[in-house]
Amino acid sequence: MGESFGAWTMGDDAAVLPYVSSVNIACGFHAGDPATMMKTIQLALKYNVKIGAHPGFQDLAGFGRREMQVTAREVYELMVYQIGALAACAKVHATALYHVKPHGALYNMAARKAELADAVAQAIYDVDPTLVLYGLSGSELINAGRQKGLQVYQEVFADRTYQEDGTLTPRSDKNALIHDEGQAIEQVLAMIKRGKVTSLQGIEVDIQADTICLHGDGVEAVQFARTINQTLKDQDILVR
């Protein structure tokens, strides 16, 4: 959330908030600006939703979704800077960050590359070791967070397809996004109840679901959030 800036608006954050338990707020690099960060925190507080930093590459034009050539040190520094910015915004609203989830290409690169995952985890630990790290289920991010002593939540996706190695299908693939509500619900329930996700190659992959991600910029975001929330309640699955 908070992936707007100036007069440019992305997604309907207010409409999604009643149906989620935590939000990842852009910190000004891939999207967002100080005013949007402040406004999004206020909205989250209104709905009693946990807030987290969503740091990404400094790439407004590419929305943080283009891979960049970066060192582990550079990743560490951009993480510290962005987490610190949102933490300060939270502080002036008498609240605090709950978690950190890297964004876009940074998230996917750190999920694969141990040295980048280590830089992400170290930055979170150095800023505030009580913050929870949200990372791709079964990825290097989860391993790095555990090694640093962070609490980690293994993240799965309601609106993205998977490859047979457990990674997300690249957005360059026409089948990367899930637009069908029934498919999204079926995938979410399989990941939670059976610990499995069916890859685009038709192979079932083991997966652990501690937290479900839904992209706020998706056309179906509000409807997906509402329906998935209700489906989990109907299935006696606790959202907390």
pLDDT band at residue 90 using 50, 70 and 90 as cut-offs: very high
3-state DSSP call for residue 55? coil
Whether residue 234 is predicted with pLDDT greater than 90 in this model: the reply is yes
Q: Is residue 33 part of a domain?
A: yes
Whether residue 11 is predicted with pLDDT greater than 80 in this model: the reply is no
Q: Strand 99-100 relative to strand 132-136: parallel, antiparallel, unpaired?
A: parallel
Q: Is residue 192 part of a domain?
A: no
Average pLDDT of the chain, as a whole number: 94
Q: Is residue 169 part of a domain?
A: no
Q: Is residue 71 part of a domain?
A: yes
Contact 224, 184 (CB under 8 A): yes
Task: Please give the sequence-ordered ranges of beta strands (E in DSSP) within the chain, or none if there are none.
Answer: 22-26, 50-54, 99-100, 132-136, 152-157, 196-198, 204-206, 211-213
Average of per-residue pLDDT across 72-92:
98
Q: Is residue 106 part of a domain?
A: yes
Over its C-alpha atoms, the chain yields an Rg (Å, rounded) of 17
Q: What is the pLDDT of residue 64?
A: 81
Q: What is the pLDDT of residue 82?
A: 98
Q: What is the pLDDT of residues 12-51, one digit of tens each?
A: 889 999 999 999 999 999 999 999 999 999 999 999 999 9
Contact 55, 27 (CB under 8 A): yes
Q: What is the pLDDT of residue 7?
A: 58
Domain that holds residue 59: 13-160+209-217
Which run of H or E residues covers position 180?
none
In CATH, what number is assigned to the domain containing residue 109? 3.20.20.370
Which run of H or E residues covers position 126?
helix 114-127
Q: Is residue 8 part of a domain?
A: no
- Please state the domain count of the chain: 1
Which run of H or E residues covers position 211?
strand 211-213
Whether residue 164 is predicted with pLDDT greater than 90 in this model: the reply is yes
3-state SS track over 154-168: EEEECCECECCCCCE
Q: Is residue 195 part of a domain?
A: no
